[in-house]
Amino acid sequence: MLTIHEAAELLARPSQAILLYGEPDVRLAAIRIAVSALLAGETVFWVEGANRFDLYTLTEAAKKWGVDPHPLLRRIEIARAFTIHQLDTLVARSLPRALRERPESPAIISDPLALCWDADVPYAEARRVVQRLAAAVRGLACRGFRLVVTCSDPPAHCRDRAGLLDLLRPAATKIIETARSESAFGAHPTYSPSLEKRGQGRFCKNASIPSTFKTLSFVPRLDVRVEDV
């Protein structure tokens, strides 16, 4: 399981493009990386492709490390993509502009492949967008920026599109595979309002913490395997 020190170490150097992939709780690792950057006083740019930004885990991670989560939330800027073309525009245009303005800030591109599981998206079009995404990520890393790209495993009906992940591998400077430990016995809620359009196509400050979340006594434990490229 990533500790705060391990999460901080992943983004300690410039010119990083980290690919996190594996079972669905891969976003737990991404949250821990984001919190480590926020604790260091940095702003974090978060591009959300699955409309599942997890406020609960972020706030719980901050509390676990003895930090008030509210100041941290003011330093995370979220942009949501609801189509692969919005994702293309965000990563190729909006994100580079934001990083140029604040080059010390890391960026997390969360579950971009989730937009490719839609059967209405032609496979050839999905490949084209993912290839452009990989080129943009690699280019930003070569210019000294720090990025994390997360990819959950595809749903069962989209196994034939699992090869899209391989298109992202050449962009990575480090590849991390996550897996649920045998000791994990449950899941946690995520903030996933189906009609939430705030942050669509642009970066904006995060909303306040929903008051409906209940405290749970556990979160899934993750094992990680790190591969330097």
Confidence of residue 188 (pLDDT cuts 50, 70, 90): very low
Is residue 49 within 8 Å of 81, Cβ to Cβ?
yes
Q: Over the stretch 113-154, which tens digit does the pLDDT of each residue have? A: 999 999 899 999 999 999 999 999 999 999 999 999 999 888
What is the pLDDT confidence band of residue 37, given thresholds at 50, 70 and 90?
Answer: very high
Domains of the chain in start order, with CATH, are: 4-194+212-228 (3.40.50.300)
Whether the Cβ atoms of residue 56 and residue 188 lie closer than 8 Å to each other: yes
Other C-beta atoms lying within 10 Å of the C-beta of residue 57: 24
According to the model, what pLDDT value does residue 147 have? 97
Q: What local confidence, expressed as pLDDT, does residue 225 receive?
A: 57
108 φψ region: left (φ > 0), alpha (ψ -120 to 50), beta (else): beta
CA distance linking residue 36 with residue 137, whole number of Å: 21
CB atoms within 10 A of CB 131: 15
> Model-level pTM?
0.79
229 or 115, greater pLDDT: 115
pLDDT band at 31 (very low <50, low <70, confident <90, very high): confident
d(CA 17, CA 65): 26
End-to-end CA distance of the chain: 21
Q: Phi, psi (5° rounding) for residue 126?
A: -60, -45
Query: Could you tell me the two tokens for 27?
Result: 């976003």
pLDDT average, residue stretch 45-69: 87
For residues 60-82, give the mean pLDDT: 89
Sheet holding 44-48, edge to edge: 204-205, 76-80, 44-48, 107-110, 146-152, 16-22, 174-180, 222-228
Residue 4: its pLDDT value, please?
Answer: 59
